């Protein structure tokens, strides 16, 4: 499973899962979705080293998303965008800390909420037919303290910037964040081996929900009535949140 892990797992009874394995499918599913047997495959996946994060143990009709930033880890659909936001922000803060940041200021720039409506095509696939978008900027939410977080750090005698730069480059790869160009630029700017200069301040912008929204988009076909999916899952895929932040690092 480690060579090509699916983005989404739906657990079903063994008989149903076996039917999907042999392409006896009433619904056209994305190639990134796989149907697994709750009776047999769940234990096998755990034996292979796959972890499952959630509020309950996997059961029939439960949906799990591949963790965007952790290897061999799947997250129950009951964990919404807040879970992924915190996971990604912690990575950004960890990188800043390892690069020697004395202060890290995190601000939300905007929050976009998109409510979508779907319909079923003749071939059984699901498509979006309507989207309603609303945007909230930081100015509209400036009185809410949760939209700004400031952390301060003190460098100790064992701080080793060169070693830490090597470590964070590996971390970027392990967390599948090679698309975060501004974050990679930050790491390069703290590497003074070639230039003889080092960065003192930098603002990095990122869309924190992009990976989670991609998972929701992939799993859209699971909203088909043929699947007995939980109401919380259906609500999650009907409402897409896009959160953009700015992180200021001071070294």
CA 102 centroid distance within chain: 27
Domain membership of residue 122 as a residue range: 81-210+239-250
Q: What is the pLDDT of residue 148?
A: 80
199 phi/psi in degrees, rounded to 5:
-75, 140
> pLDDT category, 144, cuts 50, 70, 90?
very low
Instruction: Assign 169 to helix, strand or coil.
Output: helix
* Pairing assessment for the beta strands 239-250 and 201-207 based on DSSP bridges: antiparallel
User: For residue range 89-137, what is the model confidence (pLDDT) as tens digits?
Assistant: 999 999 999 999 999 999 887 777 777 666 666 555 666 655 555 544 4
Proportion of the chain above pLDDT 70, given as a percent: 82
In this structure, is residue 111 part of a structural domain? Answer: yes
Q: Residues near 167 by Cβ (< 8 Å), separated by ≥ 6? A: 98
Q: What is the pLDDT of residue 4?
A: 75
For residues 40-63, give the mean pLDDT: 91
**Terminal Cα-to-Cα distance of the chain (whole angstroms):** 41
In this structure, is residue 130 part of a structural domain? Answer: yes
In this structure, is residue 56 part of a structural domain? Answer: no
In this structure, is residue 69 part of a structural domain? Answer: no
User: For residue range 155-212, what is the model confidence (pLDDT) as tens digits?
Assistant: 999 999 999 999 999 999 999 999 999 999 999 999 988 778 889 999 998 887 788 8
In this structure, is residue 60 part of a structural domain? Answer: no
Number of structural domains the chain divides into: 1
| Per-residue exposure over 32-65, b if at least 16 CB sit within 10 Å of its own CB, e if not | bbbbbbbeebbeebeeeebebebeeebeebbbbb
Task: Give the least confident one: 66-75, 119-128, 184-193, 221-230.
Answer: 119-128
In this structure, is residue 183 part of a structural domain? Answer: yes
In this structure, is residue 225 part of a structural domain? Answer: no
In this structure, is residue 233 part of a structural domain? Answer: no
Q: Residues near 89 by Cβ (< 8 Å), separated by ≥ 6? A: 106, 208, 245
């Amino acid at each position: 499973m480690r060579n090509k892990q699916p983005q989404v797992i739906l657990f079903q009874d063994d008989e149903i899962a076996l039917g999907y394995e042999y392409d006896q499918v009433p619904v056209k599913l994305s190639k990134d979705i796989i149907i697994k047997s709750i009776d047999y495959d769940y234990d096998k996946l755990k034996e292979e080293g796959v972890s499952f994060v959630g509020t309950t143990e996997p059961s029939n009709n439960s949906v799990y998303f591949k963790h965007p930033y952790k290897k061999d880890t799947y997250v129950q659909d009951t964990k919404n965008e807040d879970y992924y936001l915190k996971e990604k922000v912690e990575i950004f803060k960890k990188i800043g800390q390892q690069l020697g940041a004395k202060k890290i200021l995190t601000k939300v720039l905007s929050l976009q909420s998109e409510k979508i409506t779907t319909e079923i095509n003749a071939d059984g696939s699901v498509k979006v037919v309507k989207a309603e978008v609303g945007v909230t900027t930081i100015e509209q939410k400036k009185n809410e303290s949760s939209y700004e977080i400031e952390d301060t750090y003190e460098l100790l005698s064992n701080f080793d910037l060169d070693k830490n730069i090597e470590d964070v480059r590996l971390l970027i790869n392990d967390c599948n964040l090679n698309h975060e160009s501004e974050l990679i630029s930050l790491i390069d700017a703290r590497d003074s081996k070639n230039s003889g200069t080092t960065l003192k301040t930098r603002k990095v912008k990122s869309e924190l929900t992009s990976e989670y929204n991609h998972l929701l988009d992939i799993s859209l076909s699971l909203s088909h009535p043929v699947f007995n999916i939980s109401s919380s899952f259906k609500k999650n895929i009907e409402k897409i949140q896009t959160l953009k932040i700015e992180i200021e690092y001071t070294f």
